[in-house]
Amino acid sequence: MKKIKGLIAATFAAFKENGEINLDIIPAYVDYLLEQQVAGIFICGTNGEGPSLSTEERMMITEKYLEVVQGRMLVFVHVGHSSIEEARKLAKHAENHRADYISSVSAFYFKPSSVSNLADCMAYIAAAAPNTPFFYYHIPAVTGIAIDMIEFLELAEDRIPNFAGIKYTAATIHEYQACLHYKNGKYDILFGYDELLLPALAVGAKGAIGSTYNYGAKLYNKVAQLFEEGKIQEAEQLHYRAVEMIRLLVKYGPIPVQRAIMEKEGLALGNSRLPLRNLSDEIKQKLYADLDQSKFLLTVQQS
């Protein structure tokens, strides 16, 4: 299987004023992301508010994206659910509609009790889409499942025939590097912390999935180019511009802030669903002032 290289944008959910999902904006969203030069998209994940969507809504979103993308970039469909049976439905549906990859977090209410239990759960989900490469979505800060990923790899390769790798969303760079080196790089380990992309590149990352790649991919691609050219100081300085912007996400709240940035970029995605809190107009204007002062979007355009 060909290894994935480049940036995958974790897309945001789009809602209408009445709270229904907005499928109509997806063609414009896809065109925007293609212009951003991403290698693919990751839909219905954390940023896509997958846990707040019904199974039927997630299926509709999957169908629309696959209809619109038409092979122009990779499509990862996140199928994780607190109900493993619902996750299997989503996996089978994604395969039927020819998604490039599927991915799943662990169940996050009744949690797996061991690495072996987690591997069995992921194997059961992946088996519903046996012809589609499967990625485990490791995000312990959200799921509370902080386990040894090397031990998981050892079990997953035996229990999941269509296992392709891990979406590794954790700051433990040393374990990430160990996963990259597992059996001479047998699996794709896609890095998931945008603010640590440069350190991840330094230990061997080739592919990454993240939220800020929606509107900042050109900058990050330039960071990767500079790194590959051995221009480490220039790469670090440019990467710091992204870090400065990400500090705003911490200040104002990550998903609502980024939805506001997308609105500033011309894609009005509507309000998030509860329990996420949306930015007031006053806070949004303060965010925009801080964003303008950082000149992050201008730097992206110039990258």
Residues designated as active site:
137, 167
Give the E-state strand segments of 1-45 in sequence order: 6-10, 40-43
- Do the strands 40-43 and 6-10 form a parallel or antiparallel pair, or are they unpaired? parallel
Residue 74 and residue 100 in contact, taking contact as beta carbons nearer than 8 Å: yes
Structure tokens at 165: 């790798």
Residue 176 sits at φ, ψ, to 5 deg, of -55, -45
3-state SS class at 166: strand
Helix runs in the chain, H state only = 26-35, 55-69, 84-96, 115-126, 140-143, 149-159, 173-181, 197-202, 213-228, 232-252, 254-264, 281-294, 296-302
Residue 4 bridge partners (DSSP): none
Residue 241 and residue 219 in contact, taking contact as beta carbons nearer than 8 Å: yes
Residue 163 bridge partners (DSSP): 134
- CA torsion angle 67 71 74 80 (round to 10): 30
Greatest CA separation for the chain? 53
